[in-house]
Amino acid sequence: MINFNVPPVVGNEMGYVRQAVEDNRKISGDGPFTKKCEQWMCDRFSTPKVLLTTSGTSALEMAAWLCDIKPGDEVILPSFTFSSTATSFVLAGAKLVFVDVRPDTMNIDESKIEAAITDKTKAIVAVHYAGVACEMDTIMDIAQRYGLRVVEDAAQGVMSTYHGKALGSIGDLGCFSFHETKNYSMGEGGAILINDPQLFERAEIIREKGTNRSRFLRGQVDKYTWVDWGSSYLPSDINAAYLWGQLQCADEINENRLASWDAYKRALQPLADVGVLGIPTSPEGCKHNAHMFYVKAADLGERTALIAFLKERGVQSTFHYVPLHSSPAGLRFGRFSGEDVYTTRESNRLARLPMYYGLKPCDLNTVVEAIHAFYAGRY
């Protein structure tokens, strides 16, 4: 079976993990490897502050608190996303307002955001699906005009850029995931990029169980105490050590994935050209990170047949996201703004192909040949 994901391993991770355990004798949070990873991300993504978290979900939870979401506030987000994007804001009491996606990128349709804004709206959450950037200039402009916070769910967008800026570094806050299904992994983990300096101190407090311990450790206060509510969002330095190994090889991982992505595109372009298959696009000025390669079949029936056909040939392919607005929790916590023109229709067509660091060209060929075989009899 050609798996649809294989977690990345570059080979240097265990050396760093051993160092954390045996040399540093520091495996709780905020140890040397956590600091290294955070500094690396600040430098690489040109952002003033990064905090490692226990997951992408916890980074999003922190973002919701930092946006000062109160019960009854509204948050605008796409319906085509992972549950974490939504549930993090629901925990803070938000009412979700789902906006349709663009069919070309599956990202929130920036032209439909303004119509969803009410006097209760507090924030816009831009999910960079498949590591392809949302139209951030438009989104930031809307947010500025209405006084809204912007949170980037860049869980899939680590190392992608939008007009030269790293995804996650553009909004007030950006959230990364280092789950093993993402491009860089620490098993379970994530990071929050805090781009608005006014939020630095509160972010540290929320992540340190509501205490000002971070200021204490820097010698800025002479004792630390409970100052606000918060939670425990610090990952173990063992996990950070593992991630450090991967960040050392970030470019290698990125280039390897991009090579697979380009190979898929070359091989499937002919089917796209005759109009039988949709393939992903990356708008002008957006450099993606090959998080995902998906295809779009004609409709739900054809997609179901395609996934089954691939499975028979040893290729694991999966659909993505039952749109949240039609899920049981989505119905309870949110509403769809305007008409669902593309969200349901396009998500029904989408099938993800195997994509991971180290995907072998011969395996990629097997996938591509199976897709060509499926369509050979159909047009």
Positions in the binding site for ligand PLP (CB under 6 A): 55-57, 81-82, 84-85, 127, 153, 155-156, 177, 179, 190
Give the pairing of strands 121-127 and 149-153: parallel
Least separation in angstroms between residue 243's CB and ligand PLP is 12
CB of 145 to ligand PLP, least distance (A): 26
Helix (H) or strand (E) holding 262: helix 250-273
Instruction: Report the residue number, 178 or 374, with the smaller CB distance to ligand PLP.
Output: 178
Nearer to ligand PLP, 60 or 199 (CB): 60
Nearer to ligand PLP, 56 or 334 (CB): 56
> What is the nearest approach in angstroms of ligand PLP to the Cβ of residue 82?
4
C-alpha distances (whole Å) from 294 to each of 121, 224, 322 are 33, 49, 16
Q: Which residue is nearest to ligand PLP (CB)?
A: 56
- By residue count, the chain amounts to 379
In the bound state with ligand PLP, the residue whose beta carbon lies nearer, of 78 and 278, is: 78
- Categorise residue 59: left if φ over 0, alpha if ψ from -120 to 50, beta otherwise: alpha
- Which C-beta is closer to ligand PLP: that of 107 or that of 161? 107
Q: 3-state DSSP call for residue 103?
A: coil
Cα angle: 327, vertex 333, 337; to 5 degrees: 85
- In the chain, the N- to C-terminal Cα span, in Å, equals 28
Structural tokens at position 126: 């831009």
Nearer to ligand PLP, 168 or 190 (CB): 190
Minimum CB distance to ligand PLP, residue 60 (Å): 6
Considering the complex, state which of residue 56 and residue 230 has its C-beta at the smaller distance from ligand PLP: 56
Smallest distance, ligand PLP to C-beta of residue 305, A: 26
Q: Token pair 């498949």 is at which residue?
A: 130
Tokens of 368: 């591509």
Give 125's strand partners: 151
As measured in angstroms, the least distance from the Cβ of 346 to ligand PLP is: 16
CB of 155 to ligand PLP, least distance (A): 3
Question: Helix crossing, 250-273 with 237-248: angle to 10°?
Answer: 60
Which tokens in the block code for residue 124? 């816009």
